[in-house]
Structure 1
Amino acid sequence: MNKNGPKDQEDQEIDLTQISKKISSLFQRFNTFLFRCIQFFVKNVIAVSILLLVGVGLGIFLDQTQKNYDNHIIVAPNFKSTDYLYSKINLLAAKIAEKDTIFFKSIGIQNSKEINKITIEPIVDVYKFINNNGLNLELLQLMAENGDLKSVVKETTTSKNYTFHTIIVSTKAITDPKNTIQPILNYLNTSPYFREVQKISISNIQQKIKAKEGIIGQIDGILNEYSSANDNRQKSDKLIYYNENLQLNDIIKTKDSLTKDIGTLKIQLFNSDKIIKDSTVIMNIKNTKSINGKLKFVLPAALILGFIFINFFISFYRKQSLKAQQNSTI
């Protein structure tokens, strides 16, 4: 028989009583806090109403007058000029921060004060990145061993190897491509070094196309000769025809491969007309990120919270002053 049974039961009852008292105390504190909040707003209803109206009105005015727009330029840097592109964008961003209007006028941008900022980010395309070079898959796997793959594919050294990148130009108002976008693209394509590389690359591509077209011409000649010979061939030559037909299949496959290579080279030639090739420009996208366009909600809340904080500070200061006076008189 357990002699400690009644005592344990009493302890449990005491614990339950204490817990219920604590819960009741919490509810009372919450009710008191809620009452004080209501009392504060009732007491200051006029001031709060004025702040609410002023905040909403000012917010609507600012939302209508201070609009921000994003302009996206999707570009593909040629001739291994990705680092050059990023350094140029960083320079433009620094000049915007410095408000160097003279510099921007020198590159053809007259209203540089309308530009808030300029940034660049890669368009992540892991599959194309891997397909371009089989070693890239091994590289990603090696880098992912010490970190998350998602962070690796967006890491700076990796992201610069993607084909396409987006330049984002943020402006204070609707802008025209001739006044902003085109001068920036012209500025990015003024590198003397990469212009020389461009000339050599274009010449190399043209030579490759010419050489492959010459080989296709020779293959066409062989096929024409085979076709003429096949018309005069007797039916008893079936064994020889079968062996030659196997060689003919290899020749046709070679021609098909060369034709695909020429198509790829012609696309490269088309994209090589600029150092930084722009593929798409999307203009004047209204920026609604962060608090843009939401000031009619943010300002009233900020003003009311500021008013509450000031009243709380004044009340706290008065209480502490009274305590200090009482302590000094004792």
Structure 2
Amino acid sequence: MSTNSQDQEIDLGQIGTGIKNFFNGIVNSIFDFIFFVKKKIVIIGVLFVVGVVLAFLLDTKIYNHEISVIPNFGSNEYLYQKIEQIDTKLREEDDSFFKELGIKNPKDVVGIEIEAYPAIYNFVNNKEQGNNFELIKLMAEDGDIDKIMQGEITSKNYYHHKISIKTKGRLKKEEFITPVLNYLNANPYFEIQQKVYQKNLADKIALNDSLVKQIDNLIVLLSSNNSSGTISISEKNSIPELVEKKDRLISEKQYLLTNVNIFDKIIKEESSIINIRDYKPLLLNNKILFPVILILMYLILYALLNTYKNQETRIKS
């Protein structure tokens, strides 16, 4: 029993000594590094300054630009295909393609992409596409409604879409955005569709105006009959119905007049926000990243050379 106790005390003592040596090693390493930095502070300071200067010289200011658009006349798929084509031409550096569009410096453009604003209610109640509520109910029976609404096929048919452009440096709208929008709006098929839609709108507005005038005349006629005391019960009941019908026609006309403004373009620009500076997180900022990389490279190189000298001395001895 005494022998086992002595062995156990020896084991515990060795463990305690090992732990003590481990923490002493950590403390020694920390102070070795501190004294090394103090000794090499001039070199490290120079590397830090060089890194900051390189960051200023090589750092490219990235700007984001967002254009909110409305694709008209069923041109949603067409819009997505064209944006993908332009992005491909940017990656291929096809200068002749952009020269035809009137874009002088396509190399300053990093990329272009498009995504839909997740406006489910506008999609469901879109009068131009028809009521999509029954379609969504049918699709939801076979899967998760959230995944369906966020899916590429469904989102392409939303009402509002955002074109995002990323450039090196600031951008004037007429340098890239305006030529791109002109290119998107130059399509013979959709130009014909546009004319048809516009004519239908004009005819519908004219018809509404005619119906409103007829309703006004009927109301005046019925009112005159009422003043003479010859109005019938059916005529009396029809006056509120005529007023309600007139209100609906006026509301519909207001909606149509709004579309007159929207339908003047195949791809209607709703709003644009340009030159939004893209700020990177602090640790990814080149003014921090470059000096840190240079100092780490120096420390690693110094450690490798020191290890090489020690091994060389060991082998010679």
**Equivalent residue for 1:4?**
none
Taking only aligned residues, the RMSD between alpha carbons, in angstroms, comes to 3.5
Instruction: Work out the CA distance in 1 between the residues paired with 2:213 and 2:282.
Output: 64
Deviation at 1:290, TM superposition (A): 5.8
**1:61-140 maps to which residues of 2 (within 5 A)?**
61-63=57-59, 66-132=60-126, 133-135=132-134, 137-138=136-137
Deviations 1:115-139 (A, max 9, x none): 2222222222233233433236536
**Equivalent residue for 2:193?**
197
| Number of aligned residues | 306
Equivalent residues of 2:222, 2:235 under 8 A apart: no
Instruction: Work out the CA distance in 2 between the residues paired with 1:85 and 1:154.
Output: 18
Instruction: Work out the CA distance in 2 between the residues paired with 1:17 and 1:144.
Output: 66
**Equivalent residue for 1:7?**
none
Instruction: Work out the CA distance in 2 between the residues paired with 1:109 and 1:204.
Output: 36
TM superposition score normalised by structure 2: 0.81
Distance 1:253 1:289, change over 3 A: farther
Instruction: Work out the CA distance in 2 between the residues paired with 1:136 and 1:156.
Output: 16
**Equivalent residue for 1:287?**
278
Instruction: Work out the CA distance in 1 between the residues paired with 2:25 and 2:138.
Output: 60
Instruction: Work out the CA distance in 1 between the residues paired with 2:313 and 2:222.
Output: 113
Distance 1:22 1:75, change over 3 A: farther
Distance 1:15 1:194, change over 3 A: farther
Equivalent residues of 1:68, 1:292 under 8 A apart: no
Instruction: Work out the CA distance in 1 between the residues paired with 2:28 and 2:214.
Output: 96
Instruction: Work out the CA distance in 2 between the residues paired with 1:267 and 1:277.
Output: 13
Residue number among 260, 269, 292 corresponding to 1:269 in the alignment: 260
Distance 1:46 1:198, change over 3 A: same
Deviating more after overlay: 152-161 vs 283-292: 283-292
Instruction: Work out the CA distance in 2 between the residues paired with 1:141 and 1:15.
Output: 68
Instruction: Work out the CA distance in 2 between the residues paired with 1:253 and 1:197.
Output: 33
Equivalent residues of 2:69, 2:269 under 8 A apart: yes
Deviations 1:255-283 (A, max 9, x none): 21122112112212221111110111222
Equivalent residues of 2:118, 2:155 under 8 A apart: yes
Q: Percent identity?
A: 34
SS at match of 2:268: strand
Instruction: Work out the CA distance in 1 between the residues paired with 2:51 and 2:266.
Output: 49
**Equivalent residue for 1:145?**
144
Distance 1:135 1:322, change over 3 A: farther
Instruction: Work out the CA distance in 2 between the residues paired with 1:251 and 1:316.
Output: 98
SS at match of 2:180: helix
Deviation at 1:285, TM superposition (A): 2.0
Aligned amino acid, residue 107 of structure 1: L
Deviation at 1:184, TM superposition (A): 0.9
Given the alignment of the two structures, is residue 52 of structure 1 paired with residue 51 of structure 2, yes or no?
A: no
**1:6-45 maps to which residues of 2 (within 5 A)?**
27-45=23-41
Distance 1:206 1:22, change over 3 A: farther
Equivalent residues of 1:69, 1:171 under 8 A apart: yes
Aligned amino acid, residue 163 of structure 1: Y
**Equivalent residue for 2:168?**
172
Instruction: Work out the CA distance in 2 between the residues paired with 1:272 and 1:143.
Output: 35
Instruction: Work out the CA distance in 2 between the residues paired with 1:232 and 1:19.
Output: 117
Distance 1:182 1:313, change over 3 A: same
Equivalent residues of 1:76, 1:164 under 8 A apart: yes
Aligned amino acid, residue 260 of structure 1: S
Instruction: Work out the CA distance in 1 between the residues paired with 2:139 and 2:290.
Output: 46
**Equivalent residue for 2:250?**
259
Instruction: Work out the CA distance in 1 between the residues paired with 2:16 and 2:207.
Output: 92
TM superposition score normalised by structure 1: 0.78
Equivalent residues of 2:283, 2:289 under 8 A apart: no
Structure 2 unaligned regions, length at least 5: 1-8, 127-131
